[in-house]
Amino acid sequence: MAISTSATGDGWSSRSAFILAAIGAAVGLGNLWRFPTLAGESGGGAFVIFYIGCVVLLGLPLLLAEIFIGRAGQTDAVGSIRKVATQSRVSPAWSLVGGLGALAAFLIVSFYSVVAGWVLYYVGVFASDFFGALFAGEPFRGALQGQSQEQIAGRMGDLFANPWLLLTMHLLFMGTTLIIVARGISGGIEKAATWLMPAFFVLLLGITIYGAIVGDIGEAAAFLFTPDWSKLTPEVMNSALGQALFSLSLGVAGIITYGSYIRQGTPLGSTALAIGFADTAVALIAGLMIFPIVFAVGLDPAAGPTLVFQTLPFAFESMPAGSLIGLLFFVLILVAAITSSISLLEVPTAWGVGEMGWSRTKSSLIFGVGAFLIGIACLLGYNVWSDVRPLGFWSLFAETDILDTVDGFTGKVMLPLGALFVSIFVGWRADRRLLESTTGLSPIMFTIWRFLLAWLCPLAVAIILVTGLFPSIL
């Protein structure tokens, strides 16, 4: 029996449906692309251990705070915060934080879809390679046979130089996201998550086992888990903190929005724990999947953002069944990306439904098409508009192209601001009895949670914000 709890009359049909969808939202390009990139660039172990600390001390309390707001408010992020504020007898102006989050989610989905479009392109590259191998009677051969490392790496340059190809991929990805969101919670988002997430985990474990067999898992584990504390610079700490927020989907009201569709009586503390644990486990497993393959071929783990798109495809060339594994690998990333992008588009869509009274179809169309258009500007920034610097007057973004500007502004400014306000709102302003009855935490857990939320989170997030905006301080 589906119990709908939200103002829009739709909701998750069970607790496990919510957990799966929220894990789907959290696990995305952040885990499979950004985490290995940062861990590789930052020298591995010390970054990884500090990151885990950030998740436990900061991420989990904030995750619970956002789930609490959604569960108590039961409508879009703005309406939910307004309701909690009213019940707590504090200013309803706090609801602006929900508006800030919805705007951030709208901007993030615009470039997220462009990056997911690159993944889609690589799915196409590896699909044609694999089916070519299959028809040639060699389904288990390495990928992209006979191509040099330069040729393989060059594919990314070819893609970036071709606005029409980028646009097609972006259109396909955003269109799929839009269709799922337009179908609503139980009929669209939940169905997508319950099909895609199990497929995701099967692929993830399968490729990790493959990497362990043909690659060098010992070296990868040593790289990821042996800390060299001298590498833990303030910049590395800052990026680990920011990555923890991004990976857990915090600060953009995504978890508030998903939390509003939860049924009454769901234990929120253990739910937050399950989501945080799964997200972190996937990031670590992604490291244990990617680095054995990178090390086996003697490639550079610190390749940066191109690690997944250029380094890894080359590694697949000399691996047994590399063609098939390459295809599965990019399908895996695509699945993770789509369950995240639907959660991003859902935030402004729910706002349009809850606050503006639009139908779900109208709201998702307005924001989906809007984000698509901003995404077009982002992808043109790689070719026809390559010298456009949208925030060029600001020294921090003086050299930054369109996509990186939208990414940098949301990640460095909007997301930490959102997380900062949420921690202050729930840590200091929300009514204690409402908090206790909604979360259902034991007294000890409640005290620890409130302490971390009221003191550690605002402090740490304020540090990310200030050092992110004024890097010269570090």
Residues 6+ away with beta carbon under 8 Å from 441? 268, 269, 449
Measured distance CA(310)–CA(151) in Å, rounded? 10
- Interface contacts to ligand PFF, rule CB under 6 A: 25-26, 28-31, 105, 246-247, 249, 252, 254, 340, 343-344
Q: Which is nearer to ligand PFF, 142 or 251 (CB)?
A: 251
Q: Which is nearer to ligand PFF, 312 or 345 (CB)?
A: 345
3-state secondary structure 77-101: HHHHHHHHHHHCCCCHHHHHHHHHH
With CB atoms as reference, the residue minimizing the distance to ligand PFF is 30
Residue 136, CB-side half-sphere exposure with 13 Å CA sphere: 13
Q: Which is nearer to ligand PFF, 169 or 299 (CB)?
A: 169
Asked if residues 173 and 116 have their Cβ atoms less than 8 Å apart, the reply is yes
Q: Which is nearer to ligand PFF, 314 or 421 (CB)?
A: 421
Measured distance CA(213)–CA(215) in Å, rounded? 6
Residues 6+ away with beta carbon under 8 Å from 257? 70, 76, 77, 343, 346, 347, 350
Helix (H, G, I), strand (E, B) or coil at 431: coil
Q: Which is nearer to ligand PFF, 143 or 252 (CB)?
A: 252
Shortest Å distance, C-beta 25 to ligand PFF: 5
Nearest to 214 by CA among 272, 140, 106: 140
Shortest Å distance, C-beta 148 to ligand PFF: 32
One-letter amino acid at 251 equals: G
127, 162, 449 from 21: Cα distances, Å: 28, 34, 24
Q: Which is nearer to ligand PFF, 23 or 402 (CB)?
A: 23
Residues 6+ away with beta carbon under 8 Å from 218? none
Shortest Å distance, C-beta 248 to ligand PFF: 6
Q: Which is nearer to ligand PFF, 342 or 380 (CB)?
A: 342
Shortest Å distance, C-beta 323 to ligand PFF: 27
Shortest Å distance, C-beta 33 to ligand PFF: 8
Shortest Å distance, C-beta 173 to ligand PFF: 14
Asked if residues 69 and 255 have their Cβ atoms less than 8 Å apart, the reply is no
Q: Which is nearer to ligand PFF, 63 or 296 (CB)?
A: 63
Shortest Å distance, C-beta 67 to ligand PFF: 13
Shortest Å distance, C-beta 74 to ligand PFF: 18
Measured distance CA(111)–CA(407) in Å, rounded? 7
